[in-house]
Amino acid sequence: RVLSLELNKDRDVERIHGSGINTLDIEPVEGRYMLSGGSDGVIVLYDLENLTRETSYTCKALCSVGRSHPDVHKFSVETVQWYPHDTGMFTSSSFDKTLKIWDTNTLKSADAFHFKETVYSHHMSPVATNHCLVAVGTKSPKVQLCDLKSGSFSHILQGHRQEVLAVAWSPRHEYVLATGSADGRVKLWDVRRASGYLSTLDQHNGEKSKASSEAANSAHTGRVNGLCYTKDGLHLLTTGTDDRMRLWNSFTGENTLVNYGKVCNESRKGLKFTISCGCDPEFAFVPYGSTIAVYTVFTGELITMLRGHYTAVNCCVFQPNFQELYSGSRDCNILAWIPALREPVPDDISEKSLPQQHLNPAYEDAWSSTDDEG
């Protein structure tokens, strides 16, 4: 199904945003509701389900936090995320230096965290049962942890030298966090430990020559602006402005050396890419200019480029129940990529012209397929 993804002529997503779309998230409980965040601060909530039961339909916007809303973000929304355990709450963070917690039913901001710096990215653990920490990456090199239970800042993780563009909790260990920074480094942390970080990923796996001593313990030779764990949490995929994508063993921290070729990446901020779920092999969907590149995660093969947007794609999100993909772009559009239903091609084309429905039932299946008869 994933190999046959195409722009679906029968599926539309209602166009609400008047400016670029930076971030999308589909709630993991039912896989039915999708959030989008725009560069004008607007947040829209869509229902992806086809209630009309007709082949051609539009995913309707149920509600939105528009420019006139009292709690609207003043600047670009960089990340939206559903609360992982129910749809009654979602979170958003913005260049206006805030992280907001929203009540879905009233569409009001229930809480807000204010930062000294621009916020690039935030993430809640998809598996945590013992904590409610939101990791936040900002223009500061310090990673902030916000506790939703107490409504206060929990603690700070120090170790990066430049701004933190991407953060991602492990889907396997609730206390393990990965962070990517403009300093070219990716760090893994256990937030229970006083010292914080477990390791700094090294693209050379410790086998660096004198020439590369400058790149000692760096994951990329550019800014690291994208992180995504495989769904089992055993591997971490990272993207950087060195036009490289790297796959790491998240347990050993080892660079697996999968070669994806040149992965064009000119984003000055976080890049929101995604990995398929429930597929074998697993695929990575990566914004690549105005297209989306589809790679096999473990072999690095470029399978296809999904073309349909007019300008730069900023984000994509995978719907595992139906193996669908949604993408958001600077062109203000959200596009739905649906597996094509291929018609079975008959062995003999001339069969198509036979009016088979008029065949007398008495003659059906009269032919024997065995050789020894007759």
Which residue in 357, 306, 315 sits closest to 333, CA to CA?
A: 315
pLDDT exceeds cutoff 70 at 363: no
The residue type found at 29 is V
pLDDT tens by residue, 223-247: 999 999 999 999 999 999 999 999 9
Which residue in 44, 43, 35 sits closest to 76, CA to CA?
A: 43
Q: So what CATH class is 2-339?
A: mainly beta
pLDDT exceeds cutoff 60 at 38: yes
Q: Would you give the end-to-end CA distance of the chain in angstroms?
A: 44
Give the per-residue pLDDT at 305. Answer: 96
Q: At 259, phi and psi to the nearest 5?
A: -100, 115
Which residue in 87, 89, 135, 86 sits closest to 113, CA to CA?
A: 135
pLDDT exceeds cutoff 70 at 344: no
Paired sense of beta strands 291-296 and 197-200, if any: unpaired
Pairwise CA distance, residues 17 & 15, whole Å = 6
The DSSP output letter for 206 is: T
pLDDT exceeds cutoff 60 at 277: yes
Confidence of residue 195 (pLDDT cuts 50, 70, 90): confident
Task: Respond yes or no on whether the N-terminal peptide bond of residue 281 is cis (omega within 30° of 0).
Answer: yes
Lowest mean pLDDT among 3-12, 79-88, 189-198, 207-216: 207-216
What's the full length of the chain, in residues? 374
**pLDDT (mean) for 79-93:** 96
Give the per-residue pLDDT at 345. Answer: 56
Pairwise CA distance, residues 121 & 226, whole Å = 10
**pLDDT (mean) for 112-139:** 96
Q: Are 165 and 181 in contact (CB under 8 A)?
A: yes
Distance between alpha carbon 338 and the CA centroid of its chain, in Å?
Answer: 16
Pairwise CA distance, residues 91 & 218, whole Å = 31
**pLDDT (mean) for 358-370:** 48
What's the pTM value of the predicted model, to 2 decimals? 0.88
Positive or negative, the CA dihedral 342, 343, 347, 349 is negative
Q: Strand, coil or helix: what is 22?
A: strand
Q: At 251, phi and psi to the nearest 5?
A: -85, -50
Give the per-residue pLDDT at 77. Answer: 97
**pLDDT (mean) for 13-30:** 95
Q: Which residues partner with 248 through β-bridges?
A: 236, 255
Paired sense of beta strands 61-65 and 89-94, if any: unpaired
Pairwise CA distance, residues 226 & 165, whole Å = 7
Q: At 356, phi and psi to the nearest 5?
A: -65, -30
**pLDDT (mean) for 122-148:** 96
Give the per-residue pLDDT at 359. Answer: 46
Pairwise CA distance, residues 373 & 205, whole Å = 68
Radius of gyration, alpha carbons of the chain: 24
Burial of 264 (0-12, 13-18, 19+ CB in 10 A): middle
pLDDT exceeds cutoff 60 at 209: no
Percent of the chain past pLDDT 70, that is, above it, reads 89
**pLDDT (mean) for 206-218:** 64
The DSSP output letter for 367 is: S
Q: What string of DSSP letters covers 71-100?
A: T--SS-EEEEEE-TT-TTEEEEEETTSEEE
Distance between alpha carbon 305 and the CA centroid of its chain, in Å?
Answer: 17
pLDDT exceeds cutoff 80 at 367: no
